[in-house]
Amino acid sequence: MQATEKAQLKIRDKEVELPVLVGTEGQVGIDITKLKQQAGCTTYDIGFANTASCISNITYVDGINGVLRYRGFNIEDLVEHCSFIEVAYLLVHGVLPTAAELKKFSRYLNQHSMIHENMHHFFNGFPADSHPMAILASMVTSLSSFYPSLTHKDPTFDITGARLISKVRTIAAFSFKKSQGEPVVYPRHDLSFCANFLNMMFSSPVNPYEIRPEVVRILNKLLILHVDHGQNCSTTAVRLIGSARANLYASISAGICALWGPLHGGANQAVIEMLKRIKNDQRNIKKYVDMAKDKNSPFRLPGFGHAVYKNYDPRARICRKMCDELFGSLQTSDPLLDIARELEHIALNDDYFIERHLYPNVDFYTGILYRAMGIPTNMLTVMFTIGRLPGWIAQWKESTEEESAKIFRPRQIYNGPTRLDFIPIDQRKKA
Ligand code: ACO
């Protein structure tokens, strides 16, 4: 990317000119890569909240206007017209697939959906109450022992990417079956990606699962909504580990661990837990809203607020609508959905949330939708992971293919003690 403008910076007795990069959507970034040499200083930006760590062609997020696009396509169009694997192809390859390309990609997904028989033993070693995210992260790291570990610029990337997308879905369903003490259900070549997952989760030798097209449709949409979101915490973890030239499995495993956190993808589980608490606490919604506003309490409303969106998260808007679609077609209801809607209404009319631009994020309604499909609460972040994988793979590929790729190495502003004289142990006093 060529700089066409310059920014001036004056610091102490030095004046420096810094190149200004302008993205295709008009985003302006001051290039400070040479600042240390030019002015002998660094920049300070806690949590990198206003720092672009890369130049990327993958996902565009406009947090002020609530816009999200993958490879230039609006999320609303992709959710309406595509399957999850079509969008996965778009992310990884950069273009929408032709019918023939999609067929080939589906074939890869089918061919690589099984996991090595020796890996089955691993499931038995985990305690029954293990969190499925712990199992998933360990199993994904283990994949590098069983399958060729892709480093960068590998011609077999297509197969490894498909292998990972397919196997993570299988591992997720197997870990659920193991937690239930039930035999695992193998993937079937005649089923689509999402139908296969539901079948592996809910079918049993005594009770075959009835695959309902409306549930499959919603699952496709949900996974599409999770696919990518720029340089968030987990994607940055994937890029960071990849920057050390670690293999794809190790990098993705780091992303899984980051996503697990309740401030990130783990928020969908936290939302359902909070809604259950409210239901069992005499449905006292206001109590939880007040607690979230109380600066003496560490509690925050999970599923509310976003580092980038200062407007309604477009993904949350789609999920809100999908609740009507799914509950209508299943002819069922969920008391947690009513609580969520009331909670949203109260928060959106409260000055605290209005002043801080806090709106529901993607995690606010997804848990309720997954619950309606029968997905248990501790599997919710796993569902997010299955959806996010194509994004991580695309981001890993983009970052490792860059000619000028550098290892991530942020600076710090040291604020500890200056040089101290060493004190031998027998002369040290208790602090
Ligand atoms: N409940 C109550 N107050 C909140 C919330 C919330 N959910 N989110 C932010 N605030 C308040 C903060 O306390 C702060 O108030 P102050 O200005 O009086 O100190 C103000 O809003 C700004 O908050 P920050 O922490 O600066 O916002 P940031 O953009 O850094 O944080 C985050 C974003 C982490 C998502 C935050 O909104 C949050 O903790 N939300 C709840 C967890 C959640 O839903 N995470 C999922 C995000 S989506 C995703 O990762 C897939």
Residues 112-153 pLDDT 10s:
888 888 888 898 888 888 899 999 999 999 998 888 766 656
CATH class of the domain at 5-52:
mainly beta
Instruction: Give which of 37, 249, 285, 7 is closest to 150, Cα–Cα.
Output: 249
d(CA 143, CA 10): 51
What is the pLDDT confidence band of residue 155, given thresholds at 50, 70 and 90?
A: low
How does pLDDT run across 307-338, given as a tens digit for each residue?
Answer: 999 999 999 999 999 999 999 999 999 999 99
CATH class of the domain at 75-404:
mainly alpha
**Does the active-site annotation cover 363?**
yes
pLDDT of 404 above 80: no
Helix, strand or coil for residue 261? coil
What is the pLDDT confidence band of residue 57, given thresholds at 50, 70 and 90?
A: very high
What is the pLDDT confidence band of residue 349, given thresholds at 50, 70 and 90?
A: very high
Within 10 angstroms of residue 191's Cβ, the number of other Cβ atoms is: 16
How far does CA 80 lie from the centroid of its chain? 21
**Nearest protein Cα to ligand 1, atom 44:** 303
The model carries a pTM of: 0.94
Say which DSSP state 149 is in.
Answer: P
**Nearest protein Cα to ligand 1, atom 26:** 307
User: In this predicted structure, what is the pLDDT of residue 150?
Assistant: 63
User: In this predicted structure, what is the pLDDT of residue 124?
Assistant: 87
Which residue among the candidates 93, 112, 306, 313 is catalytic per the annotation?
306
Query: Which residues of the chain are in CATH 2.20.28.60 domains?
Result: 5-52
User: In this predicted structure, what is the pLDDT of residue 216?
Assistant: 97
**Nearest protein Cα to ligand 1, atom 29:** 307
> What are the φ and ψ backbone dihedral angles of 37, each rounded to 5 degrees?
-65, -40
Atom of ligand 1 nearest to the CA of 233: 50
pLDDT > 90: percent of the chain: 84
**Does the active-site annotation cover 306?**
yes
Torsion of the alpha carbons at 368, 113, 109 and 171, rounded to the nearest 10: 30
User: In this predicted structure, what is the pLDDT of residue 116?
Assistant: 86
Ligand 1 geometric centre to CA of 429 (Å): 43
d(CA 32, CA 168): 39
Please answer whether residues 243 and 407 qualify as being in contact, where contact means their C-beta atoms are separated by less than 8 angstroms. Answer: yes
Torsion of the alpha carbons at 197, 198, 202 and 204, rounded to the nearest 10: -60
Q: Which residues line ligand 1 (CB under 6 A)?
A: 263-265, 267, 292, 300-307, 356, 358, 361-363
pLDDT of 277 above 70: yes
Beta strands in 274-373, from DSSP E residues, in sequence order? none
Query: Which residues of the chain are in CATH 1.10.580.10 domains?
Result: 75-404
**Nearest protein Cα to ligand 1, atom 27:** 307
Please answer whether residues 264 and 47 qualify as being in contact, where contact means their C-beta atoms are separated by less than 8 angstroms. Answer: no
> What are the φ and ψ backbone dihedral angles of 15, each rounded to 5 degrees?
-120, 125
Atom of ligand 1 nearest to the CA of 271: 44
**Nearest protein Cα to ligand 1, atom 15:** 356
Helix, strand or coil for residue 29? strand
- As a whole number, mean pLDDT of residues 90-107 equals 95
- As a whole number, mean pLDDT of residues 80-98 equals 97
What is the best residue among 300, 346, 366 to mutate for testing ligand 1's pocket, by most ligand atoms within 8 Å of CB? 300
Say which DSSP state 263 is in.
Answer: T
- As a whole number, mean pLDDT of residues 351-359 equals 97
Identity of residue 116: H
Q: Please, what is the average pLDDT of the chain?
A: 94
Helix, strand or coil for residue 60? strand
d(CA 379, CA 372): 13
What is the best residue among 268, 304, 352, 363 to mutate for testing ligand 1's pocket, by most ligand atoms within 8 Å of CB? 304
d(CA 22, CA 25): 8
